Structure 1
């Protein structure tokens, strides 16, 4: 007996309520389907299906066997689909959206190796500091910092997290001094990203201490790259996710301020349409991004 085929037949019988219809859906003859079912029942030592002249129904043993095998069969089919997708050439247009900063710093550097490895995937990058509706705009994958989606048809998977930090250029700090406490920020020129949650209120924490500071920005911009350029030009103190300014800090162009205080951290997540089988182009891009994060130890660097 082909046990997999027999179980597949049984699950189909349970779902359509007919041996004949189940046999037709699996392209089996009625006699072959009957043999499969009988062999399965003999193997298990239990009757799974009770048949009368009018209808077919599951026995108690059949109901329990169906409950357990349905999920196993679905998992097996998904595993087969995943392997099949991996062995064929992934093709099509992959539409990815993220903030401009994330697109510049993380997505674009990934593209040369990704497109060389999968030349039949065309990538369309949508740089936007607002959240596109994934389904309405036919977006395959979004990278977002919010923790949940109102639409249950959207699946969220964690990518990594980052601190939000304050920093300024050495020139600015030489001219205006270095803040020693969160309260000192009200005397400084602040550069704020306007799409942050409550951007003018900074909620600091240091061990058991908390401090809430309301700032009046010298510059408020809807794109983080403008804020970064302004800070590099010595205009003031910025508040940005560390992943955006890590390289500028590493080369000394920006100096962290009040680094012993913590602002609420950001979690970067993948968001994509919930489906029975994730398209290969989406899965492969997500895997490549995760590998990039792990290879560069980004989360440790960005949360230290």
Structure 2
């Protein structure tokens, strides 16, 4: 039987001094109340209630157990009320992992919006272009551009798919010309992201045609923001996810190169430890992030 229900039944019996009244207050039959009491006494190995045909009273052991059981129930109810309140007014610290580019461009707006709604939550952003172990580093969630997690204890929620694009500044293209075919990249200056999979090889696809090009950059860096600065300054052609360079494209600071050819796309996911019940602050932040992507139609924009 449920130990919590046993305590509730016993405390109600002690307060009502009657099995019948205890059953009425708990919407339980007298026989049900009696079964819970008998099971509790059997489990503890002591008689808690002295019963007769006319009255019911607690034994000395029952009196002692009643005092402790009442306190336990009171603490449990307080704890439940506190947690329930926290679901609508969450508190505590939220550790979020993401790349520097994603943090600057897409995470900070969500943090600002989230803090306006839930000011008692402290946000700690752990920014890195390498993937931290979520559990070992105490992250509540992380945004990744990979499809799966090696750790089966990590849950994934999809955010969006994004193209990887080649782009360069108008000044560079005016000076060096626009490549017409992937093989033309051999005659151009490239700016490459060294943490990408197969960073020194581009695998292009256009319809049924596939082309692989070995590449090397005049500038190679492990951060997308450095690469964007170099490309905007006219130093060469970069290869970056659309979510990083979309604003530069819209503003005309960068121009797409070989846009009719497609590089392998990236899937952006939210990864977080698998739990039966997530803390309210984690669940709400995930909802905020997913809603921002939905309203902004980012996947539609980034896959064009």
TM bracket (short chain): 0.7 to 0.9
Q: Deviation per CA, 1:174-224, whole angstroms, max 9, x where unpaired?
A: 111110001111111110001000101101111111110111111110000
| Residue in structure 2 matched with residue 212 of structure 1 by the alignment | 212
Q: How far has the Cα of 1:86 moved from its partner? A: 7.1
Contact 1:161 1:266 in 2 (8 A): yes
Q: 1:274 to 1:171 in 2, by over 3 A?
A: same
Q: Deviation per CA, 1:88-143, whole angstroms, max 9, x where unpaired?
A: 31000111010000000001122222111100001011110011111111111100
Structure 1 gap ranges (5+): 1-12, 40-79
Instruction: Tell me, yes or no, if structure 1 residue 278 matches structure 2 residue 258.
Output: no
Matched position secondary structure for 1:27: helix
Q: Larger C-alpha radius of gyration, 1 or 2?
A: 2
Contact 1:165 1:259 in 2 (8 A): yes
Matched position secondary structure for 2:256: strand
Matched position secondary structure for 1:142: strand
| Residue in structure 2 matched with residue 133 of structure 1 by the alignment | 133
Q: 1:177 to 1:37 in 2, by over 3 A?
A: farther
Q: 1:129 to 1:234 in 2, by over 3 A?
A: same
Instruction: Tell me, yes or no, if structure 1 residue 27 matches structure 2 residue 8.
Output: yes
| Residue in structure 2 matched with residue 261 of structure 1 by the alignment | 261
Q: Deviation per CA, 1:19-78, whole angstroms, max 9, x where unpaired?
A: xx5753x63359869x66989xxxxxxxxxxxxxxxxxxxxxxxxxxxxxxxxxxxxxxx
Contact 1:85 1:280 in 2 (8 A): no
Q: Deviation per CA, 1:254-273, whole angstroms, max 9, x where unpaired?
A: 00011111111111100111
| Residue in structure 2 matched with residue 299 of structure 1 by the alignment | 299
Work out the CA distance in 2 between the residues paired with 1:113 and 1:87. Answer: 18
Work out the CA distance in 1 between the residues paired with 2:233 and 2:175. Answer: 13
Work out the CA distance in 2 between the residues paired with 1:85 and 1:294. Answer: 28
Work out the CA distance in 2 between the residues paired with 1:210 and 1:38. Answer: 77
Structure 2 gap ranges (5+): 14-18, 33-79
Work out the CA distance in 1 between the residues paired with 2:257 and 2:96. Answer: 34
Number of positions where the alignment pairs a residue of Structure 1 with one of Structure 2: 246
| Residue in structure 2 matched with residue 289 of structure 1 by the alignment | 289
| Residue in structure 1 matched with residue 175 of structure 2 by the alignment | 175
Contact 1:190 1:236 in 2 (8 A): yes
1:77-96 to 2 correspondences below 5 Å: 84=84, 88-96=88-96
Cα RMSD (Å): 2.6
TM-score normalised per structure 2? 0.75
Q: How far has the Cα of 1:164 moved from its partner? A: 0.2
Q: 1:290 to 1:248 in 2, by over 3 A?
A: same
Q: 1:85 to 1:235 in 2, by over 3 A?
A: farther
Q: 1:92 to 1:260 in 2, by over 3 A?
A: same
